[in-house]
Amino acid sequence: MDVREQICSASKVVVKVGSSSLTTPQGTIDVDRVDALVDVLAARRRGGTQIVLVSSGAIAAGLGPLGLPARPRDLATQQAAASVGQGVLVARYTSSFARYGLRVGQVLLTADDMMRRTHHVNAQRTLDRLLELGIVPIVNENDTVATDEIRFGDNDRLAALVSHLIRADALVLLSDVDALYDGPPSRPGARRLAEVHGPEDLVGVQLGRGGAVGTGGMITKVQAARIATGAGVPVVLTAAAHAAHALAGDDVGTFFHPQGRHPGTRLLWLAHATTGRGRLHLDAGAVEAVVTRRKSLLPAGVTSVEGEFAAGDPVDLCGPRGRVVARGLVNFDAGEIPGLLGRSTRDLASELGPEYERELIHRDDIVILESHT
Ligand SMILES: Nc1ncnc2c1ncn2[C@@H]1O[C@H](COP(=O)(O)OP(=O)(O)O)[C@@H](O)[C@H]1O
Ligand SMILES: N[C@@H](CCC(=O)OP(=O)(O)O)C(=O)O
């Protein structure tokens, strides 16, 4: 079977579109391009496919109305622009989809919503219900309330997490560039990568930043593709202008093969939607045990601890050279750990009581981020 068949036969698809494909350099909505995208999505929707659209463009669309010449640097002004632009954007989608008798629903998420179980279950339930009702959910980051700590910062990764959340069959990333190239596409001789089977195909590929209105450039798109394919979801990356071909399974853009693994949603958040609140430094033996043999982390293999965190928080696990190799949900507060380091759990239990006979981090609560130290 042609691998692209997975895209044209998908019954649930997440489509992500970037700011540069929806707005003009003057900071207004590019109505023709929004309508052209909606033409494609509506046709697929009317053919029976459930579609979730993750749309950027709130900040970019708010620039013109606020008289801002360029994307502001400070968070508060970006949030103000997003507040104004998001309304304009969804109003446009509402009337554009209405041309086909279709309704849209706005869903604004923060990284926290993906991490906290109650919020996550809520978001999942709402999206599922919207899809059952035949609505096209339009998802964006909730920019107006997302502070730096709980920000995704880019919609590429948000789209990948949403694909996992709704158990999508495919993710289509639409940008202003028609594919992933082996270097910046403006460079003469840059070559399109038609397919990416895994990280080995990305060795030597230069991933640059995007234009004036986009945020992550190619880096976050490739990260998103890695998150989605790692959860078993195939990805196509191409230009918004090629959306119809991409959804039809034609040979456009770059196809990222799914890896066939389906990690639990919880570990996927841990890896991609959280940041470590502190760090545990591991000796080489502990790295081997945790990363290669997938064992729990015991106090004996930890050499030092950094940061303020409480039991249950995510912390980064670093190898002897300081590189982050894994992330896990720790069983102790930061202040308790120095007294445990380098000691066997048996010693700790006999001296401090049986409640100390536990791992620093249980192996079910560890996600590996990097397999080499
Ligand atoms: N290796 C590469 N292959 C393709 N595009 C690249 C590469 N490196 C950098 N880019 C740039 O990334 C840009 C897309 O990122 P971005 O502007 O953030 O898009 P969006 O707004 O669609 O999310 C393209 O315009 C392209 O110039
Ligand atoms: N939430 C922001 C989009 C952030 C973002 O990822 O932008 P882009 O790189 O254009 O997909 C907005 O709506 O402006």
pLDDT digits (tens, 9 = 90+) for 222-279: 999 998 998 889 999 999 999 999 999 999 999 999 986 655 666 777 887 778 899 9
ipTM: 0.96
Ligand 1 atom having least distance to the Cα of 220: 18
Cβ(20) – ligand 1 distance below 6 Å: yes
Tens-digit pLDDT profile for residues 233-248: 999 999 999 999 999 9
User: Six-digit token pair at 214?
Assistant: 């986009």
What is residue 209's predicted lDDT score, i.e. its pLDDT? 73
User: In whole angstroms, what is the distance from residue 251 CA to residue 238 CA?
Assistant: 10
What is residue 79's predicted lDDT score, i.e. its pLDDT? 93
Report domain extents, the chain.
5-269, 275-368
Average pLDDT value over all residues in the chain: 89
> Mean pLDDT across the stretch 194-204?
93
User: In whole angstroms, what is the distance from residue 265 CA to residue 161 CA?
Assistant: 9
Quick one: fold of 5-269?
Carbamate kinase (3.40.1160)
Minimal-distance CA residue to ligand 1 atom 8:
208
The residue among 83 and 355 whose pLDDT is bigger is: 83
- Residue set of the binding site: 16, 56, 143, 155, 175-176, 215-221
Q: Ligand 2 centre from 80 Cα, in Å?
A: 14
What is residue 310's predicted lDDT score, i.e. its pLDDT? 87
pTM of the full structure: 0.77
The answer on pLDDT for 373 being more than 50 is: no
Which residue, among 8, 35, 7, 39, has the nearest Cα to 21 in the 3D structure? Answer: 35
Cβ(153) – ligand 1 distance below 6 Å: no
> Mean pLDDT across the stretch 49-76?
94
Minimal-distance CA residue to ligand 2 atom 11:
18
126-140, 175-189, 208-222 — most confident range: 126-140
Q: Ligand 2 centre from 141 Cα, in Å?
A: 8
What does DSSP assign to residue 149? G
Which residue, among 156, 127, 144, 152, has the nearest Cα to 15 in the 3D structure? Answer: 156
**Cα dihedral across residues 122, 125, 131, 132: positive or negative:** negative
The answer on pLDDT for 214 being more than 60 is: no
- Residue set of the binding site for ATP: 16, 175-176, 215-221
The residue among 231 and 117 whose pLDDT is bigger is: 231
User: Six-digit token pair at 82?
Assistant: 């997003």
The answer on pLDDT for 210 being more than 70 is: no
What does DSSP assign to residue 278? S
What is residue 372's predicted lDDT score, i.e. its pLDDT? 45
Q: Ligand 1 centre from 325 Cα, in Å?
A: 28
Lateral strand order in the sheet of 366-368: 302-306, 279-282, 314-318, 324-329, 366-368
> Mean pLDDT across the stretch 348-370?
80
Cβ(215) – ligand 1 distance below 6 Å: yes
Q: Ligand 2 centre from 82 Cα, in Å?
A: 10
The answer on pLDDT for 120 being more than 90 is: no
Cβ(62) – ligand 2 distance below 6 Å: no
What band does 352 get if pLDDT is binned at 50, 70 and 90?
confident
Cβ(237) – ligand 2 distance below 6 Å: no
The answer on pLDDT for 212 being more than 60 is: no
Kindly identify the ligand whose nearest atom is closest to the C-alpha of 158: 2
Q: Is 172 exposed, middle or buried (0-12, 13-18, 19+ CB in 10 A)?
A: buried
What band does 148 get if pLDDT is binned at 50, 70 and 90?
low
What is residue 111's predicted lDDT score, i.e. its pLDDT? 76
User: In whole angstroms, what is the distance from residue 278 CA to residue 268 CA?
Assistant: 19
Quick one: fold of 275-368?
2.30.130
| CATH fold match for the domains 5-269 and 275-368 | no
> Mean pLDDT across the stretch 314-331?
92
What is residue 296's predicted lDDT score, i.e. its pLDDT? 92
CA distances from 25 to 64, 80, 85, 196, 310 (A): 9, 18, 14, 32, 46
Angle at 49 between CA 48 and CA 55, to 5 degrees: 135
